[in-house]
Amino acid sequence: MRLIDADDLIAYLNDYARQETSYSDEDNADIRDVIQECIEAVEEQPTAYDIDKAVERLKEESRHKEGSNIYVLHEHYGHGYIIYKLYKDEEMVDMSAVEKFQNLHDVKFDNNVMLAVPIKVYESTKYENRGGSIFDGKIDAFDAFDEVWSQWMDAVRAGRAKTYIPESYIPRDMDTGKPMSPNPFDNRFIAGDNDMSEGAKNTITTEQPDIPHDSYVASYCTALDICLQGVISPSTLGIDVKKLDNAEAQREKEKTTLYTRNAVIETLQKNLPKVVEACLNAEYMLNKQPVKNVDVFIDWGEYANPSFESQIETLSKARTGGVMSIDRVVNELYGDTIDESEKEKEIMRLKAEQGIEHIAEPDMSTKQGEFEVNES
């Protein structure tokens, strides 16, 4: 048997769903569904090797300025200890070199506790074993989006109305008789020459350039689509790109947001309880109390899912048709709204009401009178 990193596989599938499939392409809906089924299948497999249990030490680096010098603090978090090391230009120095670290000393505590939890949602494409940003590969797209927006705003600024007033119409100073300068915040105008030709009239004219708003809107939407593709659906931000109103189409447009949300929630569901437990144990140790195993349950709620009533109707038909088990029905119906123990109790209650009981297999006697079965 070959061991694989299930978290890496799930991260790769999520990345593929984000980058290779477009939320606006309905032809990719089947591909996204297959990817989601693969992720669920991987998650249901038993864990043969948990990398979290093999983590021996985590190191965090932070930069600090003291005077004109830059120091780097290395914090080593391990099972039962925290070690601090201060560096300047890759050379270790005494902690007293930085005033705020003068009272910072190494700490030792229960060997079963590590006060640090590694968390990463996506894999970094640049650094090995490092987490990646949700916006990896999107820098150029956001630069293009900024350029489109800058051009649009520049056109708006350059498109201000300009008023041309003949010199004879310009208000004059009562003392000197000279034309008054225009007020940039009020009567903005440009002085023009008087028309002295025969039959001519001196008129005030206003000119305003045409701004191609439709072209700018189209460029803006295209650049925004590229920025959000594989990250979040425009519908989540209130941007309706396809003008579809029915609920099924709305949920379909939210698929990208659901993939991103599921990837984030999957990581947080696994690691946030560890963070809470580490924080509480740090508080216990600070108060010289014994550490405890803390059970943490986080309710994430549902997002862009069918209503509870429609789920009951759909799942009831599947259960009645014999294509879905009671365990699956309960898991699909309640999702993350209740914990696993509550689901188990609900499954047991439903099976008991329907007369489904687990009966122990009866033992077979191996003796009869003078005869006895030899089981060897």
Ranking 251-255, 329-333, 368-372 by mean pLDDT, the lowest is 368-372
Ranking 126-140, 153-167, 178-192 by mean pLDDT, the lowest is 178-192
> Higher pLDDT residue, 114 or 52?
114
Is 363's pLDDT higher than 70?
no
How far apart CA 139 and CA 142 sit, in angstroms, is 5
Q: Give the residue-averaged pLDDT of 299-327.
A: 76
The predicted pLDDT at position 252 comes to: 63
Is 367's pLDDT higher than 90?
no
Most confidently modeled range among 1-5, 55-59, 215-219 = 215-219
How far apart CA 304 and CA 311 sit, in angstroms, is 13
When the pLDDT of each residue in the chain is averaged and rounded to a whole number, the result is 77
Tens of pLDDT, residue by residue over 102-114, are: 888 888 888 888 8
Is 212's pLDDT higher than 50?
yes
How far apart CA 111 and CA 123 sit, in angstroms, is 30
Is 359's pLDDT higher than 60?
no
Q: Give the residue-averaged pLDDT of 51-55.
A: 55
> Higher pLDDT residue, 372 or 88?
88
Most confidently modeled range among 138-147, 320-329, 348-357 = 138-147
The predicted pLDDT at position 1 comes to: 46
Tens of pLDDT, residue by residue over 103-143, are: 888 888 888 888 888 888 888 877 777 788 888 888 899 99
Predicted confidence band of residue 182 (pLDDT cuts 50, 70, 90): low
Residue 375 CA: distances (Å) to CA of 275, 365, 372: 53, 12, 9
Predicted confidence band of residue 376 (pLDDT cuts 50, 70, 90): low
Q: How large is the angle between the packed helices 6-19 and 29-44, nearest 10 degrees?
A: 170
The predicted pLDDT at position 149 comes to: 92
Most confidently modeled range among 89-98, 139-148, 160-169 = 139-148
The predicted pLDDT at position 131 comes to: 81
210: β partners: none
Is 94's pLDDT higher than 50?
yes
Predicted confidence band of residue 286 (pLDDT cuts 50, 70, 90): confident
Ranking 18-22, 168-172, 175-179, 346-350 by mean pLDDT, the lowest is 18-22
Is 328's pLDDT higher than 50?
yes
Ranking 5-19, 162-176, 217-231, 232-246 by mean pLDDT, the lowest is 232-246
The predicted pLDDT at position 4 comes to: 66
17 burial class (0-12, 13-18, 19+ CB within 10 angstroms)?
buried
Q: Give the residue-averaged pLDDT of 237-254.
A: 63
Q: Taking a C-beta distance cutoff of 8 angstroms, is the pair 137, 124 a contact?
A: no
Task: Please report, in angstroms and rounded to a whole number, the separation of the first and last CA atoms in the chain.
Answer: 32
Is 217's pLDDT higher than 90?
no
Q: Give the residue-averaged pLDDT of 138-152.
A: 91
Domain boundaries in the chain?
57-117, 139-253, 308-353
Predicted confidence band of residue 274 (pLDDT cuts 50, 70, 90): confident
Ranking 47-61, 153-167, 205-219 by mean pLDDT, the lowest is 47-61
Predicted confidence band of residue 188 (pLDDT cuts 50, 70, 90): low
Share of the chain above pLDDT 70, in %: 74
Is 50's pLDDT higher than 90?
no
